[in-house]
Amino acid sequence: MEIGIVGLPNVGKSALFKAMTGMHVEVANYPFTTTKAVHGTAPVPDPRLALIGRYIRTRKFVPATIDLVDIPAIVAGSAQGEGMGNAFLENVRQVDALAHVVRCFDDPDISHVFDDLNPVRDVQAVETELLLADLQVLEGAIDKAQRRAKTGDASGRKRVEIASRAVAVLADEKPLRGQEWSKEELLELRSLGMITLRPVLYVANVGEDDLKGAGESVAALRRWVGSNEAGQTRMVPICAKLEAEIAELAPAERQEMLGGLGLTEPALAVLARALYDLLGLQSFYTAGEPEIRAWTIRKGETAPEAAGKIHSDIQRGFIRAETYGIDDLVKHESEHAIRAAGRMRSEGKSYVLQDGDVCHFLFNV
């Protein structure tokens, strides 16, 4: 699961990437500091790992991770070759979702591609380029598919039909993700790499004077997202500059700094939860002396499918899953006590995992 970080120049994309991944990337006050896509992996903040560790002795904790791509900035005219031109397109088409960073802070020392602070206008500028990029692909696809359709190719006729409907949506200046599509239509559009089909998390990058996103800039963006987008979007406020500073501190110092700011957790935890919610993801856990690990699955996946995240052999030879909830562990304080209380469940192949399940998989290959 890859998340592409997009936005205008100087909005804080690379600062957010640095805060999440811990990687050193250049952050500077001029456009196109990032000239090619940078890939990194971010650990998902998860207090449940430490909670499980209170009751099960272990040598290490392994959080789930999110793969991130810091994509070169998009500017007005990018789809026609302005700025970095189409350099961003191939990278955007390869990700599963977008984290669209929007500048919601005012700083005269950091240049802006526009003269004033207007997050709604900024979002619309980027959205326009993505719409135009999709239109270009669709128009080319329709032309090729029409030639195939003239020879009697049924798949060509179907592509023309679906692509033409998508063109009509984009021509109305609406993203494809806000429409209802059949499974067949979605497969066709995804095969064409439609960018505006991807879900989006809007990241309102706020200043240190508005950490909770209560200012008018964030409010305006929130209103726009609420009135213009369907269920395939979310929005969170985050101060990327502050988060990058926090990420460089030792764990104890992080908590001290957060406490001094009146915060209980880094905003990156809020961002990770929003991404999970947007993409329909959840976590389950395996716990033992070697490690306590969080695993990411889609909501609705069964026990064998979850087992396959660990190893394909476990899924292939799946017998059953012994599982319990973290609340049971807190209440009974050990797996032995959970079993004695009759709270250890034995689940078969049809069991759909719940968020927070702790599992032991029994299998035979």
**215-252: per-residue pLDDT in tens?**
999 999 999 998 876 678 899 999 998 888 888 888 88
Domains of the chain: which residue ranges? 2-278, 300-363
Predicted confidence at residue 135, as pLDDT, reads 94
Q: How confident is the model at residue 91 (pLDDT cuts 50, 70, 90)?
A: confident
Return the CATH number of the domain spanning residue range 300-363.
3.10.20.30
Tell me: the pLDDT tens digits for 281-302? 999 999 999 999 999 999 999 9
> Residue 109's pLDDT band (boundaries 50, 70, 90)?
confident
Query: What percent of the residues of the chain are helix, what percent strand, and what percent coil, each to the nearest 5?
Result: 45, 20, 35
Q: Could you report how far apart the first and last alpha carbons of the chain are, in Å? A: 28
Dihedral angle of Cα 92, 93, 98, 102, to the nearest 10 degrees: 40
pLDDT tens digits for 189-198? 999 999 999 9
Euclidean distance between CA atoms 285 and 49, whole angstroms:
8
Residue 186 burial (CB count, 10 A): 14
Average pLDDT score over residue span 142-168: 91
Burial 268-294 (b: 16+ CB within 10 A, else e): beebbbbbbebbebbbbbbbeeeebbb
Reported confidence tier of residue 126, pLDDT bands at 50, 70, 90: very high
Amino acid at 278: L
Q: Which two tokens stand for residue 345?
A: 């469940």
Query: Is 141 exposed, middle or buried, given 0-12, 13-18 or 19+ CB atoms closer than 10 A?
Result: buried
Q: What is the pTM of this model?
A: 0.88
Structure tokens at 50: 């430490």
129-143, 247-261, 347-361: which is most confident: 347-361
Token pair in block for residue 113: 């591609």
The percentage of residues in the chain with a pLDDT greater than 90, rounded to a whole number, is: 65
Q: Which CATH architecture has domain 2-278?
A: 3-Layer(aba) Sandwich (3.40)
As a whole number, mean pLDDT of residues 269-277 equals 91
223 membership: H or E segment, kind and range = helix 216-228
How would residue 35 be classed by pLDDT, with cut points 50, 70 and 90?
low
Once rounded to an integer, what is the mean pLDDT over residues 204-211?
Answer: 90
What pLDDT shows up at residue 50?
Answer: 95
Give yes or no for residue 313 having a pLDDT over 70: yes
Q: Are strands 318-325 and 345-347 parallel, antiparallel or unpaired?
A: antiparallel
